[in-house]
Chain A
Amino acid sequence: MPKITYVTFDNISTTVEVANKSSVMDGAKNHGIDGIAADCGGACACATCHVYVDDAFVAKIPAATDMELGLLDAVGDRRPTSRLSCQITVGPELDGLVVHMPESQYS
C-alpha cells in the first residue's frame, strides 16, 4: 500500500499506509489524523479537507474539477499547491506523497 505522510501546521509528521483507490482524506480519517475535518464526508462540498501537496507530487495528481477549483477559490489560505484531499485518489504513483494541513483547520 502507498505510504502517505501528513504534516500538521506545527510540523508534526505522521506516515501511514493508505489503500489504493481510497482518498487522501480517507487515509487521515482511518488513522485518526487531526487537521482534516471532512465535514461533508468527501462529497466535495465543504473544503474542510484542504491540504498543500508537496511540489514533487503536484503533477502526478489529476487536475482538479471545476467544483474543487471553485471551493479552493474561496478558501482563505489558498496556495498554488492547494487541493481538497477527498478528491485525491490514492494509487501506486502517489507512494511517498507528503501533504501539509493548513493552520485554519486546527481549532
Chain B
Amino acid sequence: MTEITNITIVGAGHGGGTFAAALRSGGYTGEIVLIGDEPHIPYQRPPLSKDYLKDAASFQQLQLKPEQYYLDQHVSTHLGSRVESIGPAAKSITLEGGLSLTYGVLVLATGSRPRRIPLPGVDLKGIHELRTIADADALKPIMQDGKRIALIGGGYIGLEVAASAIGLGGGAVVIEREARVLARVASEPLSNFLQDFHRAKGVEILVDSQVTALEGDVEGFVKAVLLSDGRRIPCDAALLCVGGVPNDELAKGAGLACDGGIVVDLSGRTSDPSIFALGDVTRRPLPLYDDQMFRLESVPNALEQGKQIAAELLGKPAPAAEVQWFWSNQYDLKIQIAGLPLGADRRIVRGNPDDGKFSVCHLAGSRLLCVEAVNSPADFLGAKALIGQKPAMDLDKVADSAIALKAAILSG
C-alpha cells in the first residue's frame, strides 16, 4: 500500500472527532482535515438529553478534546462548513461556498438526523427536535420554566427528556404509536418497568396512540397534540423524537453503495476503496451475529468503527469484534445493555423489577446473547465480557442474582 498522507474526515461529531484522535495516538503523522457543519469542535451528544439539559454539565465538559488539542496535534478543522459533494474520480470534495479540497483517503462520519414526520402543524413555534447542542439550548428554557412538554415518540431520547423535564419541575407526556415504549429497542419487561417508573414520577404515557396533527394558538405556538382517536393532548411545547435517518445523501451522490445507510465492511470501507465511513450513517456487519448488517445509533458503535478504520489505514491488525452496548440514564436509573437479542429463544429475569434493580438476560439455548441491566452494573460488565466469548451458561445460576453473572458459566 502506498503511504497515506492526507486523511479528510467529513463530520466533526463524536465518531469523526474520536477517529481523528485515534489516528494521532496510533502514530499517524500525515495531514488530517476535519470538516463539520456545526460551528463547534467535536462534542458528545448523550448528555444533550440528560445532564446538559438539566444544566448539570457545561458545553466544555461535553467536548471530546479541548480546542488546544486540535492545534497541538495538527488537525486542521473547518467548522461551520458543509460538504456539498464528493468527486470520487478526482478524489475531491466541494464545500458550501465553492471551496474544493482533494483527499488521499476520505472518511464519512456524517451521523444521522431526527426523522421528520409530515404532520399538519409541524412548523408551529415550540416544536423541537434534539440532535445538536443548538437544539438542546433551544429546549432548555422551556424545560426550566416548569412547562409541559409532549414527547412524540417513546424511544430513549423521548424518555430521557421526560425524566429531565420532571427533574426540572416541569411536566411531560410521552405519545407512542406502538403498544409499549421502546418497542423496537428493548424487551417487554424493560419497557413495562420503565413505563411504570415514569408514570409513578408523574409522566403521562400514552401507548397505541397515533398523532395526526399539532394544534397552535393564534400566535402560532403549539398548544396541543391531536390523536387519531380524537383525543386532544394539551402541551406547551413538543419534541419530535421518532427515530433517526442516516445522513447518507453525500455518499449516494457519489455513487457509493447505500442501503438505509452507507454500506461498509469490517474495515469501514465503502464500495469506493478510498472512501470509508463510520458511525450512525453506516450499515455495517456484526461479526458476533453472523455478519448480519445493521445500522446502529450508539457511541460504542462509532468508536468501534473508528478503531477498525484506524487499524486498516495504519497497517495494524484488525481489532477483535466488540460486543455492542448502550446506556441510558433516567432519574436515578442507569440502564446498560450489552449485546443484541438476535435469534434469542429464552429470556431470564435476574433480580426483581420491584426493587428497581434487575437484568433481563436473552439466550439462544444456553448461549448468552444480550443483557439489559437496570441499576445492575456488574451484570452489564459481566455480560459484555461473556457475550463475545460465547460460553454455555448454567441457566439456574443465570436466574440467581446472588451469583455473579460472570460465574454463571457451565463448568466442565
Contact = CB atoms under 8 A, between A and B. Distances in A.
A92 interface: no
B382 interface: yes
Chain B interface main SS type: helix
B183 interface: no
Contacts, number: 64
Interface residues of B, number: 31
Given A26-B61, A30-B66, A41-B47, A74 B385 contact: yes
Contact of B377 (A26, A34, A70): A70
A74 B381 contact: yes
Interface in A16-62: 22, 26, 29-30, 32, 34, 39-47
Contacts of A46: 327
B61 A34 contact: no
B381 A39 contact: no
B382 A74 contact: yes
B46 interface: yes
Contacts of B397: none
Contacts of A107: 319
Nearest to B319: A107
B377 A67 contact: yes
Given A40-B299, A43-B327, A107-B319, 16 more contacts: A29-B64, A41-B299, A43-B50, A43-B329, A43-B334, A44-B334, A45-B336, A47-B381, A70-B376, A71-B377, A71-B380, A71-B381, A73-B381, A73-B404, A74-B404, A74-B406
Q: Which 9 A-B pairs have the closest CB atoms?
A: A70-B377, A74-B381, A45-B327, A71-B377, A74-B378, A73-B378, A41-B44, A70-B378, A30-B66
Interface of A: 22, 26, 29-30, 32, 34, 39-47, 66-67, 70-71, 73-76, 107
